[in-house]
Amino acid sequence: MNPARRAFLRLLALGSGALAACRAKAPAPVQSLLGAPISPYGERSPFVQSARQTFESTRTPEQAASLTPLADTYGIITPSSLHFERHHSGVPKIDPAQHRLLIHGMVNRPLILTMEELQRLPSMSRIHFLECSGNSNTGWRPTPRPTVQAAHGLTSCSEWTGVKLSLLLDEVGVQPGASWILAEGGDPAKMTRSIPLAKAMDDAMLAYAQNGEPLRPEQGFPLRLFLPGWEGNSNVKWLRRLKIVDQPYMTREETSKYTDLMPDGRARQFTLVMDAKSVVTHPSGGRRLAAAGFHEITGIAWTGRGRVTRVEVTTNGGATWQDAVLQDPVLPRAHTRFRLGWEWNGSDATIASRVTDDTGYVQPTRAELVAIRGVNSNYHNNMIQAWKVNHDGTVEYAVL
């Protein structure tokens, strides 16, 4: 019999014995009060306390971020209320009835569309992750963050609903020679990014809903650009303008920001795709295992290049690896939940995961990543990051 299944059956047997004892001692039932009435908008239980960790600039509080509590999530969908945020100038308040999207530039028929007109078009829904390119950036330097939320919480996964961008580009008639799109947001920072036309014609969408309801203001209400698998800031929120052009516009966000400084002094630019990454969410930093015995190691894996095909887990610091079970559904450019049964003997152990995607790419160790990229970057760190389980059950950040 599988050791994990044997351990699980032992737990069931112990639980059955405890249940029998409780039944023997159970007091007579008491009459309870009626529950709370229904509410117009659902609330979670007051006993559930998971929340986003927030960071704000001391001088400009509107330039802020919040982190998803990955250790408290189940499956692959992130609740909209816990989806990470990143803002450069705060969250604008936009009346959807007044909002307009302009599509112009190298097109035959420029368009200005209202939200009502956009929502009359054929829609689509897709489950995809979104990740800030600065996620996990402390991995470049020896400044570990203590929890999986603090280290990797700038990634979330939702169902996005909207209009396929290629539908509108076909309607306006893109002219020969066009190769890029300039996307501009309606926030005070006027977040602006250059997007290759090829991506726009492939799987890009104009999203107006998330997880079955309209976008929240922090996620770009009433309209955002969504580019599956690409770095978060290119998915321009509060989208108001798309200009079709023949070259990238070299905006602030793709020159002085969001570039990767290499060891020789040159910088990688337009590194838009998020490489394969995985992380163990349980057990993870800041948590504590109550006792030796059976535990389920679980986490999430994702890749911007396609689909996760394999996740391996080590419980001995990388000496050996075991294949984890991938939980269905395994979707392209979406979080994938993995699981592995583990019999912990109560000794110190170092746990980590590594993912392989359908292009054959394997998540690197920190040493392998630094050998190519150096340590001067601030973005696109997808190294294997470990957790050390101490003999007393406490869990802390570690690196293989």
CATH number at 312 reads 2.60.40.650
Q: Would you state the pLDDT for residue 197?
A: 98
Residue 12 or residue 6, greater confidence: 6
Give the pLDDT band (50/70/90) at residue 11.
low
Mean pLDDT check: name the lowest of 13-27, 68-82, 274-288: 13-27
If asked whether residues 281 and 143 sit together in one domain, one would say no
**Alpha helices by DSSP H, 173-312:** 197-202
Q: What's the full length of the chain, in residues?
A: 400
pTM of the full structure: 0.91
Residue 39 has pLDDT above 70, yes or no: yes
What CATH number corresponds to the domain at position 162? 3.90.420.10
Q: What's the pLDDT score for residue 143?
A: 76
Q: Tell me the CA distances in angstroms from 367 to 129, 138, 385, 397, one per residue in order.
A: 26, 14, 11, 16
> With contact defined as beta carbons under 8 Å apart, do 375 and 366 qualify?
no
Total domains, the chain: 2
pLDDT of 218 strictly over 60 = yes
**Smallest Cα–Cα separation from 232: which of 214, 215, 222, 219?**
219
- Residue 400, classified by CB atoms within 10 Å of its CB into exposed (0-12), middle (13-18) or buried (19+), is middle
Residue 383's pLDDT is 97
Q: Are residues 255 and 310 in the same domain?
A: no
The whole-angstrom separation of Cα 293 and Cα 345 is 6
Count of beta carbons in the 10 Å neighbourhood of residue 67: 27
Are residues 252 and 291 both part of a single domain?
Answer: no
Q: What is the percent of the chain with per-residue pLDDT over 70, rounded to a whole number?
A: 92
Higher pLDDT, 268 or 21: 268
- List the single range of 144-148, 185-189, 271-275 with lowest mean pLDDT: 144-148
In the structure, what pLDDT confidence band is assigned to residue 216 with cuts at 50, 70 and 90? very high
CB 349 within 8 A of CB 315: yes
Residue 340 lies in a domain: yes
Note whether 243 and 384 are same-domain residues: no
Give the other-Cβ count within 10 Å of 165's Cβ.
24
Q: Do 256 and 294 fall into the same domain?
A: no
pLDDT at 5 over 80: no
Residues 221, 193 share a domain? yes
pLDDT digit string, tens, across residues 242-266:
999 999 999 999 998 999 999 999 9
The CA-CA-CA angle for residues 149, 151, 155, to 5°, reads 65
- pLDDT of 30 over the 80 cut: no
